[in-house]
Structure 1
Amino acid sequence: MRENFVIAPKYSHLAETLKGVLHNFSEKGNYVAQGERNIIKMVQLKGTSFNIKAFKQPNLFQALVYQFIRKSKAKRSFEYASKLIGLGVKTPFPVAYLEVFSFGLRQSFYISEHINYDFDFRELIHNPQFQKRTEILRQFTQFTFKLHENGINFLDHSPGNTLIVEEENDKYDFFLIDLNRMRFECLDFEQRMHNFRRLWPSKTMVKIMAHEYAQLYGKSFEETYSLMLKHSRAFQKKINSKKLRRRK
């Protein structure tokens, strides 16, 4: 069995302590999320809170791919977070990751700083009367435009993956999470509009975001709105069709 543990210099003094937590993951920390694929726990060490994401154990084929061909989700999360911060994009600070190999990847963990956020993007979808909703959507669109201008194609740009912190004077900070599916590339206008599809916005939300993005990009509102709505509706139709097939 072989391990690969990488930690940010900022937290090198906690290396052995964090490795101990990971080696006893089932007994340490408090659950934040416990899904079918991944588990997230929070631990506190010396006054600092950390989130630990344990990725689902891959099957044998995937395990070999992750050892010899493709980077693990934990490693990608750490590297992508570091790159985002370097580009001035907010995400919980990447602390460390651990990979355990034995005839392929057997276990992997990603550790980041815990942030106290006020709400996530889902709140804007489920509550049309959410306070200052229009202004938040405008600033979120500016944030997404910044991603695109920096060549960041966040493939999981979905409602639960943007945490929002309210600052003073009606300003909002946006933090990306769940980072392992991302490409760094130049995006054309079609790709930019396609990137909004997973957010599941209503027509009203699309209008607000399209108006803001059109001004930032220098396109007409009509063209921006039409393309953003087209991709959003196509995605929603696809997901609803899958749900219908499962029920049948």
Structure 2
Amino acid sequence: MKITTHTSAKNSLLKIKDLILHFDKKGKMLSDGSRNQIKIFKLEGKPVAIKAFGVPNLINRFAYKYLRRSKAQRSFDFAQELLNRGIGTPHPIAYAIQDGGVLFGKSYYVSNHLEADLTYRTLVQDPDYPEWEEILKAFTRFTFEMHEKGIHFLDHSPGNTLIVKNGANYDFYLVDLNRMEFKTMDFETRMKNFNRLTPHRHMVHIMAKEYARLGNYDPVNTEKFMWQETQNFQERFRKKRALKKKLKFWKN
């Protein structure tokens, strides 16, 4: 197993390796997905999150071995880049790659564990959440700051922004970092980056108005583009879900 640590965690290398080697039998499950798992462990007395990425398909096992960075390495690298640009994310600790012989094996990403008060999904599901509109506007300001700093978060979706109340303010932290670009973003790309966040028109209205104010854009045009991109995504999502149901029917 090859483990790369952040400079702040180099003295914990052996302990990190031990946690990863015992990932299946120890730790507290935080997320048990169909492809990936996240567990919470203690490292040097502090909680850390370890994300175990599932073994990729055959093509990606070759690609990650010889051509591309793995999801774990990208998560580690992108976390450092986010912090360098002043955007919040749980502090990266390490990433590890298990030897899979001639093909890529399994990989792990280790970061500090952050106890969040809510995620963006909470705003979608609970419109009566305290300070709902204030948090939504603050999230929009966070997204605008991210865009201004040349960060295109391709998985900008409801569960991937952790929100922590900090006095009268709110702090935002990105997670699930392996799909990201760093580039100057034009208006259309910025609007499209909102498309996965909510199906609710009233939320889009508030975000568009706040984003237009920050960027000195026309608010009517901003809402038009943001809502159109949202509708396009929702339509693609509905078609994909319908296709999956049909395939499941024919399998049975």
Q: State TM-score, norm by structure 2.
A: 0.95
Which position in structure 2 is the counterpart of 1:96? 94
Which ranges of structure 1 fall in alignment gaps of 5 or more residues?
Answer: none
Give a deviation string over 1:112-170, Cα, whole Å, max 9, x none: 0001110111110011222111111111011000110111000000000001001112x
Q: 1:39 aligns with which of 37, 49, 52?
A: 37
Q: 1:186 aligns with which of 184, 187, 193?
A: 184
Distance (whole Å) between structure 1 residues aligned to residue 128 and residue 19 of structure 2: 42
Which position in structure 2 is the counterpart of 1:139? 138
Which position in structure 2 is the counterpart of 1:116? 115
Which ranges of structure 2 fall in alignment gaps of 5 or more residues?
Answer: 247-252
Structure 1 runs of 4+ aligned residues shifted over 3 Å read: none
Give a deviation string over 1:165-206, Cα, whole Å, max 9, x none: 01112x100110000000111100000000000102411111
Report which stretch shifted further, 237-246 or 147-156: 237-246
Distance (whole Å) between structure 2 residues aligned to residue 210 and residue 60 of structure 1: 42
Matching of residue 29 in structure 1 with residue 40 in structure 2: no
- Helix, strand or coil for the counterpart of 1:199? coil
What amino acid is the match of 1:104? L
Distance (whole Å) between structure 2 residues aligned to residue 46 and residue 70 of structure 1: 32
> Which structure 2 residues correspond to residues 173-212 of structure 1 after superposition, within 5 A?
173-212=171-210
Which position in structure 1 is the counterpart of 2:64? 66
- Give 1:46 shift: 2.6
Instruction: Report sequence identity in percent.
Output: 41
Give a deviation string over 1:56-93, Cα, whole Å, max 9, x none: 00233211100111100000000000000010100000
- Give 1:25 shift: 1.4
Q: State TM-score, norm by structure 1.
A: 0.96
Q: 2:222 aligns with which of 221, 224, 227?
A: 224
- Give 1:247 shift: 2.5
In the comparison of the two structures, how many residue pairs are matched? 245
- Helix, strand or coil for the counterpart of 2:185? coil
Matching of residue 12 in structure 1 with residue 10 in structure 2: yes
